[in-house]
Structure 1
Amino acid sequence: MDMITKLASQNAAVIFSKSSCCMSHATKRLFYELGVSPAIHELDQDYRGRDMELALLRLGCNPAVPTVFIGGKFVGSTQKVMSLHLDGSLVPMLKAAGAIWL
């Protein structure tokens, strides 16, 4: 869990992902289209990926990916991120964290 917390706090926006996951792709695509350059940790390409996946599951993320952190704080999965985007809350969160400067 310490590894997740550390990685999540190193950038304004962090996405834990798997390269083969369509929901991960959709979440990354949304962030790129908003002008965000998130730190992305591809669990299927990292030697610590299985440990990170287990830590995310313990955090309550089910499925473990994609999982998004903004400003070092746990946001949630694609469903939560998309809900925030649709209600207009995502961009202000990203601005407050310093992930975008629109």
Structure 2
Amino acid sequence: MASKEATKQLIKDSISFNKVMVFSKSFCPYCKRTKKVLDDLAVEYSTMELDERDDGSMIQDIMLEMTGARSVPRVFINGKFVGGSDETLRLHSEGKLIKLIKA
């Protein structure tokens, strides 16, 4: 398994190289709901499915340090943490999500 520092770098690179980055679990209903909103907006995004990775638990621990929670999804747009499912859906319902993505 990769070191915590290497895993942190992987996370930072994933966030900086992708306009929209979603840390997710493939079976999670909140993650599915969030990805559906992005799909419906025809937004290009990258996903890291933590349940399909050996370092998924470590990534969640690092998410706790970075964002204040281990829960998924963890959504980043243009390098900034925007929240989980509720926050992402609220931004969408307010018409702000697509503006953030296009900024």
1:1-102 pair list within 5 angstroms: 1-96=8-103
Give the drift of 1:30: 0.5
1:14-73 per-position Cα deviation (integer Å, ceiling 9, x unaligned):
000001100000000110110012100000001221111111122234342001000111
Contact 1:61 1:77 in 2 (8 A): no
CA distance in 1, matches of 2:68, 2:38: 20
Q: Any unmatched runs of 5+ in structure 2?
A: 1-7
Q: How many residues align?
A: 96
Separation in 2, partners of 1:52, 1:3? 9
Runs of 4+ in 1 over 6 A off after TM superposition: none
Q: CA RMSD in A?
A: 1.3
Matched residues in 2 for 1:10 and 1:60: separation? Answer: 19
